[in-house]
Amino acid sequence: MDKPSTSTHISHQYNAELEDIRSRVLAMGGMVEQQLATAVTALVEGDATMGELVLSTDFKINAMEVEIDEECTSIIARRQPTASDLRLIMAVIKTITDLERIGDEAERIGRMATQLAKAGTLKKQCLELEGMGNQVKKILHDALDVFARTDAQAALEVARTDLKIDRQYEGVMRQLITFMMEDPRSIPRALDIIWSARALERIGDRARNICEYVIYLVKGKDVRHTSLEQIERETLSSQ
Amino acid sequence: MDKPSTSTHISHQYNAELEDIRSRVLAMGGMVEQQLATAVTALVEGDATMGELVLSTDFKINAMEVEIDEECTSIIARRQPTASDLRLIMAVIKTITDLERIGDEAERIGRMATQLAKAGTLKKQCLELEGMGNQVKKILHDALDVFARTDAQAALEVARTDLKIDRQYEGVMRQLITFMMEDPRSIPRALDIIWSARALERIGDRARNICEYVIYLVKGKDVRHTSLEQIERETLSSQ
């Protein structure tokens, strides 16, 4: 299948518009990455000020989503894109929804981190989350990177790393359950950590979604609800 | 702004295609409603067989999402829709994403219900969820109804009922925390109920999203990230 390219249009203006939405998605992604990094630091360091900083930036990400969405609709109406251009726009519309929801999850982590910092943190438990937080920051960064490079093979590899996050999440959960059972007074604070771990796990899922849109964009095949093994067998072997 | 109508096209075939995606969304919505009802019953009745039934139907909902998505992309490529037709297609693309994720949440509830039934249910706590489950079934049904009727005013009213679910969720959470602190051995099972309550709360949020797409479809205005009061003031007052 044709590799999406914006260099083949007769209209330079149309090219510029497609390039513009791609860079806007990456700018939005960069902002979401920054928000996630701040949220994870707030959680791990028990820093209420950083936690509140996450809450105050969410509206910018929401505004970017709405703007990019409107730009996509406008391009469809004016340019009547087909084939790889249309797939690019569809992939963008879906990607920004996931990015916006990742921002919401980061905001949730920021809120929990603020509460935890004020209540006196459970430092030890937060440290358990640090490794998971780093892994989630990495998958988001890598997913945005494969989107930027439009690389389906790399997208499959990045999607696969989500399994590692799922295992880390299960480990964190097991530890927190033990901790709550040993010291029931810690339950409310432990639950805030559980919500944060859950939010991180969801961010991993959404980064994986972005990888799947990249595969759709390159291969023209919708690979959601398909196992990674099946994607590799059916889609990428035809390269 | 023009009320979306499919009766004004010269091409009967184009009309039929737009009507077809609308009815497919409603068929998918009906299936998701059924799945949610089964999941809530499984949870409340402590019925492992019904819980497993939810798990076995999720693939159908996933397949419907992919099919409708492809049909939308195909209509954009072939028909080059603009104005209200394009907004309908955009609203459909977003609605089916939320419906599919509601299906995932129902699946999660089904899985928790199965585990709880096998471990010996906490009947009392499950009863607390029954009221919340009924409210969530209602908001999903009503959201699909306003989608079917393309009624922005009703969409706003349905969206508002999500606040009631948020309050019910907070009540359920407070009770479960107390319960866990009183009897730490119940923590693992109580957490399964917490995940189910959380899933129900998320379904409420997604039903609210669907209402917002209906307002966008009718009014041509993106009302996500806008408070309900602001939507009413700015958007609906112009009727």
Q: pLDDT tens, A199-220? A: 999 999 999 999 999 999 998 8
Q: How far apart are CA A94 and CA A214, in angstroms?
A: 10
CA distance A185 to chain B (A): 7
Within a domain: B78: yes
* Number of cross-chain residue pairs from A and B with Cβ atoms under 8 Å apart: 70
The predicted structure's pLDDT at residue A236: 64
pLDDT at A26: 98
Residues 6+ apart with CB under 8 A from B69: A222, B93, B96
Lowest mean pLDDT, pick from A119-123, A130-134, B159-163: A119-123
The number of folded domains in chain A is: 1
Q: Out of B97, B187, B225, name the one closest to residue A62 (CB).
A: B225
Provide the token pair at A14.
Answer: 């149309």
State the pLDDT confidence band at A1, using cuts at 50, 70 and 90. very low
Residue with tokens 């394009």: B86
Which of A224, A227, A230 would best serve as a mutation to test chain B binding (most B beta carbons within 10 A)? A224
Q: Is residue A224 part of a domain?
A: yes
pLDDT in tens, chain B (239 residues): 445 554 556 688 999 999 999 999 999 999 999 999 999 999 988 889 999 999 988 899 999 999 999 999 999 999 999 889 999 999 999 999 999 999 999 999 999 999 988 887 556 666 678 999 999 999 999 999 999 999 999 999 999 999 999 999 999 999 899 989 999 998 988 999 999 999 999 999 999 999 999 999 998 877 777 888 887 777 666 54
Residues 6+ apart with CB under 8 A from B176: B125, B190, B193, B194, B197
Q: For residue B5, tell me if it sits in a domain.
A: no
Residue A165 pLDDT grade (very low, low, confident, very high; cuts 50, 70, 90): very high
- Model pLDDT for residues A173-198, shown as the tens digit of each residue: 998 999 899 999 989 889 999 999 99
Distance from CA of A148 to the nearest CA of B (A): 22
Is A46 part of any domain? yes
Q: How close is the nearest chain B Cα to the Cα of A184, in Å?
A: 5
Instruction: Compute the half-sphere exposure of residue B127: CA atoms within 13 Å on the CB side of its CA.
Output: 3
Look at residue B121 in the predicted model and tell me its pLDDT.
58
Give the Cα separation of B198 and B203 in Å (integer). Answer: 9
What pLDDT was estimated at residue A99? Answer: 97
In this complex, the residue of A62, A93, A222 whose CB is nearest that of residue B93 is: A93
* CA pseudo-torsion sign A126, A132, A138, A141: negative
- In this prediction, residue A8 carries a pLDDT of 56
Using an 8 Å Cβ cutoff, are B68 and B139 in contact? no
Contact A100, A31 (CB under 8 A): no
What are the counts of helices (DSSP H) followed by strands (DSSP E) for chain B?
Answer: 8, 0
Write the pLDDT tens digit of every residue in A15-57.
Answer: 999 999 999 999 999 999 999 999 999 998 888 999 999 998 8
User: Which residue in B86, B93, B180 is closest to A184 by CB distance?
Assistant: B180
Structure tokens at B154: 């009703």
User: How far B82 CA sits from the closest chain A CA (Å)?
Assistant: 5
Q: In chain B, which residues have their Cβ closer than 8 Å to the Cβ of A230?
A: none
Task: Please tell me if residue A193 touches chain B, with a CB cutoff of 8 Å.
Answer: no
A229 confidence band (pLDDT: 50, 70, 90): confident
Residues 71-130 of B with CB under 8 A from A: 73, 76-77, 80-83, 86-87, 90, 93-94, 97
Quick one: what percent of chain A has pLDDT higher than 70? 91
Interface of A with B in 210-239 (CB under 8 A): 222, 224-225
**Considering CB atoms only, which of A82, A94, A187 is closest to B177?**
A187
Shortest Cα distance, chain B CAs vs residue A57, angstroms: 13
Assigned token pair, B131:
């009221």
Interface of B with A in 21-50 (CB under 8 A): none
pLDDT at A89 over 80: yes
A59-73, A222-236, B90-104, B107-121: the lowest-pLDDT one = A222-236
pLDDT beyond 70 at A9: no
Closest CA to A83 of B60, B222, B76: B76
Tell the residue number behind the tokens 């479960």, with chain if given: B176
Query: B197 in contact with A at a CB cutoff of 8 Å?
Result: no
What's the whole-model pTM score?
A: 0.90
Residue at A204 is within a domain = yes
Contact status, residue B68 vs residue B21, Cβ threshold 8 Å: yes
Q: Record the tokens describing residue B187, joined without a space.
A: 């923590």
pLDDT at A225: 79
- Within chain A, residue ranges assigned H as helices are 12-45, 48-79, 83-119, 123-149, 152-160, 162-182, 187-219, 228-234
Mean pLDDT to the nearest integer, A105-116:
94
Structural domain contains residue A5: no
Range(s) of the domain holding residue A102: 12-238
Note whether B147 and B214 are within 8 A (CB): yes
Q: Is residue A7 part of a domain?
A: no
Assigned token pair, A193: 């950590």
CA distance B239 to B219: 9
CATH number at residue B184: 1.20.58.220
**Which residues in chain B have their CB less than 8 angstroms from residue A66's CB?**
222, 224-225
- Residue A117 lies inside a defined structural domain of this protein: yes
Q: Residue A165 burial by CB count (10 A; 0-12/13-18/19+): exposed, middle or buried?
A: buried
What is the pLDDT, as a whole number, of residue A235?
66
Rounded to a whole number of angstroms, the distance from the CA of B174 to the nearest CA of chain A is 10
Q: Indicate if ipTM > 0.90.
A: no
